[in-house]
Amino acid sequence: MSEDNDDNRKGEKPLRKNSAVPSSRFRRVSRLGALATQVAGNVVANGAGQWLKGQRPALSSLILTPKNISNIANQLASMRGAAMKLGQLISMDSGDFLPPELASILARLRDDADPMPKSQLVDTLDEAWGADWQNTLLYFSFAPVAAASIGQVHKAITLDGKILAIKVQYPGVKESIDSDIDNVASLIKLSGLVPASVDLNTLLTHAKQQLHEEADYQREAKMLVRYKQALAKEHAKVNSLFVVPEVYAPLTTAKVLAMDFVNAAPLDVLQQEDQQTRDIAMTALMTLFFKEVFDFRLLQSDPNLANYQFDTKTKQWVLLDFGATREIPEAIAEAYRKLLISAAHNDTSAMLKAALSIGLVTQKHSDTQQQAVVDIGMEACEAIRWQGPYDFGQTDLILRLHEKGMALTAEHDFWHTPPADALFIHRKLGGLYLLAKRLQARIDMREAAKPWLVERG
């Protein structure tokens, strides 16, 4: 079997320097404990100096010094797993509206993870495939082509010439999810910079659930097969716009996922395409979202931009990472379809009825609170009411929605957590809006949603 140790291959983004993943729960807790001690030591040192000068600094200003920010970000990234993923989820939910100090930590966590060293990788594969696995493959690249929060991806070729992408989970990640999230959350809360509008406890609960599902690679394989089958049932034109890898069952285990290796480029390449290509590509993704919710009732709920790659030759999307795929209950799907129809017809009373059905608001809320939620919902669906292509590149919709959301809690004293299904649907749609803005796409959203804007008997 041949191997490739060059992690600077042409056309691929260089990965970070290898670092071992702390695999035991004790070692992971110890890492966070050491980090907290280090941060505390810097706080005492900096605070003492300022007190001697007659200053009374805020605790958050002492914690979030450039040195502490760098230490926190690098330590969480080196731990991978839930420690890294939680930062991604908070960043994804709160977007660009977090304080700059906290945003700088989370930005590091959105980047590539540190790959694990070859020795740890081999031990992990020995456990999953048996000690003689290297003799069963024609080729295996020990230099990963990607490294993320839960696992890293390697290229391999079977003895019969099949080219595969092998996703290998970091050791100890699955077993330490709950403790990682609780410990990192305590560290983040200590900063005092998480806005009151961010319901961190609810986020932590959903983060744990999502991460336990994402860490089960056999579940992801099943979801990948189901999604690929649902997509295959669609009209040939729609299906041809997307490529979904096929699972390779013989090498797939609970912590190793084997699938087709699909050649595609990161999202940046699509930004270089002409306006028409970007519009068509993004319209296809928005239409697929509607199909996921209303037809497939199977939603790939993680809007991480790394999950979308593009083939500039075939003009196809390559969809990756189905660990966060969720089933959408029929009742929720139908309620959202009615909400979509109410937005298209600017019918606020129908939208309130749909919002109550979904659980976005309850009968316990006052008329003023209910109306405020409907106003936000109507504004969020602005693109559906727009006649013709909606210019995502020029809109300030996301900023307006954030301002209204902050006012909802500050002015209307509205504190309510929607059902998990709603949170994941909103997260996916929000991610697509951000992607459309990044691509400066112009999309006729009303036309894209047209098949689902018809009342049913």
Per-residue pLDDT band for 19 (boundaries 50, 70, 90) equals low
Structure-model confidence comparison of residues 265 and 102, the more confident one: 265
Compute CA distances 110 → 15, 301, 304, whole Å. 14, 17, 9
pLDDT of 211-254, one tens digit each?
A: 888 899 999 999 999 999 999 988 766 678 999 999 999 999 99
Closest residue by Cα to residue 206 from 112, 74, 86, 370: 86
Region 10-14: mean pLDDT is: 42
Q: With 0-12 CB in 10 A as exposed, 13-18 as middle and 19+ as buried, what is 148?
A: buried
Q: What is the mean pLDDT of residues 343-367?
A: 94
- Let me know if 216 is a catalytic residue: no
Q: Which amino acid is at 353?
A: K
Mean pLDDT value of segment 350-362: 95
pLDDT at site 92: 46
- Residue 257 neighbours by CB distance under 10 Å: 28
- In the sheet that holds 308-311, the strands lie side by side as 242-243, 316-319, 308-311
CA-CA distance, 127 to 169, in Å (whole number)? 12
Residue 279 scores a pLDDT above 70: yes
Give the pLDDT band (50/70/90) at residue 178: confident
Quick one: pLDDT band at residue 336, thresholds 50, 70, 90? very high
Q: Which of 77-91, 251-265, 305-319 has the lowest mean pLDDT?
A: 77-91
More confident residue, 155 or 54: 155
Local confidence band at 107 (pLDDT 50, 70, 90 cut-offs):
low
pLDDT, residue 250, reads 96
Q: What is the DSSP letter of 14?
A: P
Give the contacts of 246 (CB within 8 A, at least 6 positions apart).
Answer: 228, 259, 260
- The average pLDDT across 279-288 equals 96
Residue 309, beta-bridge partner list? 318
454: helix, strand or coil? coil
CA distance 254 to 243: 24
Residue 109: band (very low, low, confident or very high) from pLDDT cuts 50, 70, 90 = low
Whole-angstrom distance, CA of residue 361 vs CA of residue 405: 14
Q: What is the pLDDT of residues 26-75, one digit of tens each?
A: 454 455 445 444 444 444 344 334 334 443 334 344 344 555 555 555 65
Residue 93 has pLDDT above 50, yes or no: no
Q: What is the pLDDT of residue 230?
A: 93
Asked which of 76-80, 343-347, 393-397 is least confident by mean pLDDT, the reply is 76-80
> DSSP code of 135?
G
Mean local confidence (pLDDT), 311-340: 94
Res. 112: pLDDT tops 90: no
Q: Which of 302, 311, 375, 421 is catalytic?
A: 302
Give the pLDDT of residue 94. 43
Give the start-to-end residue ranges of the domains of the chain.
Answer: 20-114+177-213, 236-241+264-457
DSSP 97: G
Among 39, 56, 48, which Cα is nearest to 105's?
A: 39
Per-residue confidence (pLDDT) for residue 403, from 0 to 100:
81
Distance CA 50, CA 62 (A): 10
Is residue 377 a contact partner of residue 351, using CB atoms and an 8 Å limit?
yes
Tell me the whole-structure pTM to 2 decimals: 0.78
Mean pLDDT of 284-295: 96
pLDDT in tens, 388-432: 999 999 999 988 887 887 777 766 677 677 888 898 898 899 889
Share of the chain above pLDDT 70, in %: 69
pLDDT on residue 90: 52
CB 81 within 8 A of CB 179: no
Greatest mean pLDDT among 5-19, 258-272, 401-415 lies in: 258-272
Mean pLDDT of the chain: 79
pLDDT band at 151 (very low <50, low <70, confident <90, very high): confident
Q: What is the pLDDT of residue 387?
A: 93
Query: 88 vs 151, which has greater pLDDT?
Result: 151
* pLDDT over 70 (residue 16): no
